[in-house]
Chain A
């Protein structure tokens, strides 16, 4: 049963747990900054717009995999069973996904900031900045919705990071293609009427992935 208080409580739990393990947050940020810096060192000069866009999404994709693969790794079996007796597993996955979406929101904006800092924001001069930022955010949250369930599957299979990447990559790829096209159009300065189609589909896919995760998660949770 979907009880809002339960979900909010679970999200609060996630936040508290994450704040306690500040190391994981720091690791995520360090990864992002290092990745951007590495790309910057490799490229140096001015990047043409499509490359700028593609490189940004590549960095964000790997940062997302890094951040989201850990989401079900934290508890061991004992704590899992305890959690299972307290709350409906569906609320667990919903809460985790919502929390991951928030994390990705922050992470994607942060990555964008670091990226613009290093590669220069000249590209953004002619862009529809609002729509671009919206596409970045929607892309990030899209990763979260799809990858949360995948990381749950991978965690239950016992091989977290590697399996999340293998299972998640084909599902994230079409999402990525759609959002890359939307963000490139936004950078080109295309009006909302054109970019909106892609972004609406992204929202649809997010909702669909959430619904599927809600329905399927209980089967993962039993043992």
Chain B
């Protein structure tokens, strides 16, 4: 039996842990003390994330409105990640939402979109380029994960929570294939495979639920909500618990295998239909959803994908290894039972 894929799975996962947890997030602007701008002088305190502002090389900042800039009168670096900016806001800004842009020599250009709201819309302002400064261009852009306002650091959970579901789906498919083969051949080895895959699949389903619940508490504020994906996850977990209950309630080995195989196939097909179709019918809190149950472009940045795909592969390989162990253990158990009786 070849073992290379097992080692590959473990190596991939260790790599994911290393890279996924160590890579810092991109610098970002998180908080502004004033968000409504009226014409006139104003002083704003800005809080940033993962920046290293220094008073020796202070950043440049401006308000951007429909392509026009309002430069700062003064920039004061309060700390590593906070600034005090003074503006004289002119009247006549064209759009009612403005962005705040901070250009730091180390962090590059950081934008907080739609940071300010100005009431009246005007015809535009006298636009002049802000006084230039020695901004060192970063020759090599460091590898950073994108910063998303609601998720912040918890985006790393992407490498653990989502692959659990992929692994579970793979395992459930293995289980149903074994069930079909069992019904055709009546070979108990197939049944061992079906049961082993169901056990490990259920484990991963529970892990997915727990990791998802923790993530939900941190980002959405609740341990559980009525959301299509969550309902689908709960239903799947319940189906496989029911499968195990069914097996347990029938004493005869072959009969249990047969009945369980029928239920497995019935439930799997219906489950696939539910999971694929029902999310399309309604909206959801899940990122990247609201129509499409699969992963959409919205949330998966290139850099995240670089770590995400190996994570999925690693978890699937680990899950498959666990399934082979469960199947072989069960096979040996039945064999030893028979050897005992013989």
Contact = CB atoms under 8 A, between A and B. Distances in A.
Interface of A: 146, 149-150, 153, 156-159, 163, 166-167, 169-171, 173-174, 177-178, 181, 197-198, 201, 204-205, 208-209, 212-213, 216, 219-220, 222-223
Contacts of B38: none
Interface of B: 183, 231-232, 235-236, 238-239, 242, 245-246, 249-250, 255, 258-259, 261-263, 265-267, 269-270, 273-274, 277-278, 281-282
B198 to A, nearest CB: 14
A212 B266 contact: yes
A219 B238 contact: no
Nearest to B240: A170
Contact of A149 (B242, B266, B282): B266
A173 B262 CA distance: 19
B276 to A, nearest CB: 11
A64 B150 CA distance: 44
8 contacts: A146-B270, A149-B262, A158-B250, A167-B263, A174-B235, A208-B273, A212-B266, A216-B262
Given A169-B238, A178-B281, A219-B261, A163 B274 contact: no
A167 B262 contact: no
B265 A167 contact: no
Given A159-B249, A205-B270, A167 B232 contact: no
A153 B259 contact: yes
B246 A216 contact: no
B263 A153 contact: yes
Contact of A174 (B183, B259, B269, B278): B278
A181 B282 CA distance: 10
B258 A219 contact: yes
A208 B272 CA distance: 12
Given A170-B239, A171-B239, A197-B281, A153 B270 contact: no
A177 B262 contact: no
